[in-house]
Chain A
Amino acid sequence: GEDVEQSLFLSVREGDSSVINCTYTDSSSTYLYWYKQEPGAGLQLLTYIFSNMDMKQDQRLTVLLNKKDKHLSLRIADTQTGDSAIYFCAEFTGSARQLTFGSGTQLTVLP
């Protein structure tokens, strides 16, 4: 079956790095995604990684994928107050032809 898990809350100080972790269970996942949701808004696609990659970097964002442990992480460098939001990890599997989301991690950035 498919199950994506994330910790519910993370607090960091402005300027520090944030690391949001995610575990998934479906080893046939082809793509893994990070979405950001601000209050009252839809989901914004932040970044994604193909399952044959270990790492992807995009400006302040670094995604690490450990396929053996089915562990995905999102690192945000120099976290700003505007980064405060809920971050969702999601996996896409060809067999399911849909995204399966985690419950989201609420990131709070403290001044």
Chain B
Amino acid sequence: NAGVMQNPRHLVRRRGQEARLRCSPMKGHSHVYWYRQLPEEGLKFMVYLQKENIIDESGMPKERFSAEFPKEGPSILRIQQVVRGDSAAYFCASSPSNEKLFFGSGTQLSVL
């Protein structure tokens, strides 16, 4: 049973470009979470999704950020018009029951 798969592991973008981060949850998990980790900080909640639904996006910036978890395929975190402050590690987690979360290895986004 493969773990939570995130790709790419590293993503480099120039200011103003778009970043797309992908997350495939563990088999049988219908809950997906996205967290952001800034250097030397803990993880901050961004968004919680179930299949085709956003349940809680209270941690996501109102502009430029969006997330989806379609019926088929991975969850996508999309950042439009990236700025240097978006540089961080973005972690996805999945859960079978909304309580025990299993994390992927993260995507390190670097904005030049």
Contacts and interface: CB of A to CB of B under 8 A. Distances in A.
Interface size on B, as a range, is: 20 to 34
The SS class assigned to the A binding surface is strand
B69 interface: no
Contacts of A30: 99
Contacts of A42: 4, 6, 91, 103-106
Contact of B42 (A97, A98, A104): A104
A33 B98 CA distance: 14
Interface of B: 4, 6, 33, 35, 41-45, 48, 55-56, 59, 91, 93, 98-106
8 nearest A-B residue pairs (beta carbon):
A42-B105, A101-B42, A43-B103, A103-B42, A42-B103, A101-B43, A98-B45, A42-B106
16 contacts: A4-B42, A31-B99, A42-B6, A42-B91, A43-B103, A45-B101, A45-B102, A48-B100, A92-B99, A97-B98, A98-B59, A99-B35, A100-B45, A101-B42, A101-B43, A103-B41
Interface of A: 4, 30-31, 33, 35, 41-45, 48, 88, 92, 96-104
